Amino acid sequence: MTAWYQTFAWLADPANWAGPGGIPARLGEHVVYSLVTLIVAVAIAVPIGVIIGHTGKGRAVAVQLSGALRALPTLGVVLLLALWLGTGLGPPLVALVVLALPPLLAGAYAGVSAVDRQTIDAARGIGMTETQVLFKVELPLAMPIIIGGIRSGALQVIATWTVAAYLPVGGLGRFIYDGYAVQNYAEMLGASVLVIVLALVADGVFALIQRLVVPRGVVVGRASDVRVRSSKRLATTSQSTTAG
Amino acid sequence: MSWLIDNFGQVWSLTVDHVVYSAIPIILGFVIAVPIGWLTNRYRLSRATVLTIVGLLYTVPSLPLIIVLPTLLGTRILDPVNIVVALTIYAVAIMVRTASDAFASVDVDVLLSATAVGFSTWRRFWGVELPLAGPVLLSGVRVVSVSTISLLTVGAVMGIPNLGYLFLDGLQRNFPLEIVVGIVGTILIAVIFDAVLALLGRLLLPWTRGRKQRRRATVTDPELEVVGAS
């Protein structure tokens, strides 16, 4: 229990809230690093994933590649790139972007390929072009699962930037390693609490976005499903909503 | 390469530690998650609640979790128990969802038939539900296995012996080969674990042979569920 009192004391100490090494500065760094990583990764992975989902080509390669990337130990990749490419933010950024690709790719292709074939055929049937099918039918319907992939990626990025602070970079992980070096457990624990809160907040924000991007027509359809109260229907709808 | 030959003893002992510290959470995660997954299906109300709690557990980043656990468990920060508990938490977090989906995938008519010919709930679970849920459970364990083996390396920064130590030592000595050995070793362990699990699946679930195409399709599903701790 004393560890927690000391932690709250550390968190409440105004000295820890000021300057370039203070809590707001480190938190800001962590958020900015994570956002930049995520934006770059999304820009690479989502278009590729959507194309795979739309054409159905390259799916096996994407699955294999995501699986292989998942086996890579993040810490090792981050440190290896730092040795090869030198110090600064660049090397860990490259490593983290690569490691964030699998969930984003998986979300994008799973989301698009999960769209009902009949819906797509109907869209073609009423004369939509391929581009219209993609942007007006497939993408809106896939959006909750695509955002789900980004949500997973965001959590991973926040977690990995914490570990990556082993290098001389900023972010909340800085407190953990600096605290470890001088055996200041309160500082490590305080920073850990901050990272956990940041991860939970980010998860909550993405959960909210995931809800907001569900197309209106689909929401209406779901509401009527609930009213039917057939157990099989309920099972299928709950599965589709938890898929991300 | 001569570095590897000279230091083979150390690399081997780290490898053994790595295998032990990742095998325990994989097994514990399976043993804990399967009953929870079964219960979430049996009592549908609890499903959303349980899956939400489990999902929140997985959002907690690994390094902070290893640091917070000693105050909750009363252990010391360098105690390997912390990393074993942390990895078990992640294993359970992934596995409960898969287990719940696995039991949900068992055809209700089959279960009713089993009850109708006189199976007790206990016998029905072991004789019908568990074997039929087997292929999906197996795919879940394979995902848990890969992520546990790669996550364990984070424990090295808190002084827990495993191949992750080679990353830190390699960085300190400015020696990329040592880091590469650590990464390759970690991937090799993951590949061997996966092969063992696949073999176990073939022995324990012989009826799934020759349905490779369909099994592939389910394998990708739990991978999607895997969200981001690292």
Q: Which amino acid belongs to residue A86? A: G
Q: Is the distance from CB of B57 to CB of A175 less than 8 angstroms?
A: no
Question: What residues of chain A lie within 8 A of the CB of B58, using their CB?
Answer: 155
Question: What residues of chain A lie within 8 A of the CB of B197, using their CB?
Answer: none
Q: How confident is the model at residue A225 (pLDDT cuts 50, 70, 90)?
A: very low
Cβ pair A152:B150 closer than 8 A: no
Which ranges in chain B belong to alpha helices (H)? 2-6, 8-42, 44-59, 62-73, 80-104, 108-116, 121-124, 130-151, 164-172, 176-204, 212-225
CA distance B19 to A215: 47
Q: Is the distance from CB of A198 to CB of A159 less than 8 angstroms?
A: no
Cβ pair A159:B156 closer than 8 A: no
| Residue-wise pLDDT tens digits, A91-107 | 899 999 988 998 898 88
> Would an 8 Å CB–CB cutoff place A155 in contact with chain B?
yes
Query: How many other C-beta atoms can be found within 10 angstroms of the C-beta atom of residue B91?
Result: 29
Q: Give the pLDDT of residue A40.
A: 96
Max CA pair span of chain B: 68
> Would an 8 Å CB–CB cutoff place B62 in contact with chain A?
yes
Cβ contacts of B223 within 8 Å, gap of 6 or more = A63, A66, A67, A70, A106, B143
CA torsion sign, A126 to A132 to A133 to A139?
Answer: negative
> Would an 8 Å CB–CB cutoff place B51 in contact with chain A?
yes
What is the average per-residue pLDDT within A189-213?
Answer: 92
> Would an 8 Å CB–CB cutoff place A201 in contact with chain B?
no
Cβ pair B227:A151 closer than 8 A: yes
Q: How confident is the model at residue A235 (pLDDT cuts 50, 70, 90)?
A: very low
CA distance B91 to B83: 12
Q: Shortest CB distance from B146 goes to which of A71, A166, A242?
A: A71
| Full-model pTM | 0.85
Q: How confident is the model at residue A109 (pLDDT cuts 50, 70, 90)?
A: confident
DSSP 8-class letter at A171: S
Q: Is the distance from CB of A157 to CB of A37 less than 8 angstroms?
A: yes
Q: Give the pLDDT of residue B24.
A: 96
Q: How confident is the model at residue A191 (pLDDT cuts 50, 70, 90)?
A: very high
Q: Give the pLDDT of residue A230.
A: 40
Q: Give the pLDDT of residue B215.
A: 45
Q: Give the pLDDT of residue A222.
A: 58
Comparing A219 with B218, the larger pLDDT belongs to A219
> Would an 8 Å CB–CB cutoff place A164 in contact with chain B?
no
Residue A74 has pLDDT above 80, yes or no: yes
CA distance A220 to A209: 18
Region B1-207: CATH code: 1.10.3720.10
Could you identify the residue written with the tokens 């930037």? A161
Q: Shortest CB distance from B227 goes to which of A155, A173, A189?
A: A155
Q: How confident is the model at residue B212 (pLDDT cuts 50, 70, 90)?
A: low
Judged by average pLDDT, the poorest of A17-21, B91-95, B167-171, B172-176 is A17-21
| Residue-wise pLDDT tens digits, B161-209 | 999 999 999 998 888 899 999 999 999 999 999 999 999 998 888 877 7
Domains of chain B by residue range: 1-207
CA distance A95 to A99: 6
Cβ pair B183:A243 closer than 8 A: no
Cβ pair A192:B183 closer than 8 A: no
Cβ contacts of B86 within 8 Å, gap of 6 or more = B62, B65, B66, B69, B155
CA distance A157 to A172: 13
- Best of B50, B224, B225, B226 to disrupt the A interface (most A CBs within 10 Å) is B224
Cβ pair A200:B174 closer than 8 A: no
Q: Give the pLDDT of residue A243.
A: 33
> Would an 8 Å CB–CB cutoff place A82 in contact with chain B?
yes
What is the average per-residue pLDDT within B223-229?
Answer: 42
Give me the total of CB pairs closer than 8 Å, taking one residue from chain A and one from chain B: 161
Domains of chain A by residue range: 20-240
Q: What would be the CATH architecture of the domain defined by A20-240? A: Orthogonal Bundle (1.10)
**Which contacts qualify for B1-9: CB closer than 8 Å, 24 or more apart?**
B3/B175, B3/B177, B3/B178, B3/B181, B4/B177, B4/B181
In three-state form (DSSP H/G/I as H, E/B as E, the rest C), the secondary structure along A100-135 is: HHHHHHHHHHHHHHCCCHHHHHHHHHCCCCHHHHHH
Q: How confident is the model at residue B8 (pLDDT cuts 50, 70, 90)?
A: confident
Q: Is the distance from CB of B62 to CB of B154 less than 8 angstroms?
A: yes
| Residue-wise pLDDT tens digits, B127-139 | 888 888 998 999 9
What is the average per-residue pLDDT within B79-101?
Answer: 91
Could you identify the residue written with the tokens 């699990």? B197
CA distance B91 to A153: 18
- Number of residues that make up chain B: 230
> Would an 8 Å CB–CB cutoff place B72 in contact with chain A?
no
DSSP 8-class letter at B22: H
Interface of B with A in 97-116 (CB under 8 A): 97, 101, 104
